[in-house]
Amino acid sequence: MSKNKKKDQKVDDDTVENETEVESAILTDEDESKEEDSLAELDPVKVLEKSLLEAKDELAEQKDNYIRLQAETDNFKKRLSRDKQDSIQYANERLLKELISIVDNFERALEDSSEDTKSLKDGLEMILKQFNSFLEKEKVEPIKAVGEKFDPEIHEVLSSEESDDHEENTIVSQFTKGYTINNRVLRPSQVIISKKPAPESKEGSNHESEEDSDKEDNPTD
């Protein structure tokens, strides 16, 4: 065998020997790691320390998620608030444009130099009609009152008066008209309701009638 072949064989033997040592070292490290894990599993303190580290990592991750979620929620609330303000402002602009045209008619009626009362009345009736049309378009409707039974949900009592012509708690007159918007009370009607006459009033009235009858039967000079 030549010298070169001997050298090559020696190199190969050294390489195999090194690889064997590396594999042996890796196996040794793995065995040591497994041994440490086994010892850790047997040691309650090690188990608690490991669990604590895992819990800390999970808590940190949850905290980051919470911070991101809170930031997204705050941004959403801000956008929602801006959208709501824009919607309200737009709605107010539309209503104000409607009212401006009614104000225009008021000004024209006041600027009219005519002294004709009928002309003024016709102008006011036209403005009132325009107002009612505006309210109707906005789903604002008047509340029925006079002749209706008192309803505390839509009526507000200002006073009561005795009446023989109405059932008790019947609305006999209205002081201020009430309105609803989309079937919700915008303003209750302020009303006066009926009540039964007091018994004393009837007895007094009968007594006075008897006295008047006696005077007619027995006139005096």
pTM: 0.49
d(C-alpha 176, C-alpha 188), whole Å:
8
Residues in CB range of 173: below 8 A, 6 or more apart: 146, 191, 192
pLDDT in tens, 161-185: 888 888 888 999 999 889 998 889 9
Amino acid at 77: K
Question: What 8-state DSSP symbol labels residue 171?
Answer: E
pLDDT at 118: 78
Give the pLDDT of residue 28: 58
Q: What is the pLDDT of residues 34-58, one digit of tens each?
A: 655 555 555 677 777 777 888 888 8
Which amino acid is it at 46?
K
Other Cβ atoms within 10 Å of 141 Cβ, number: 15
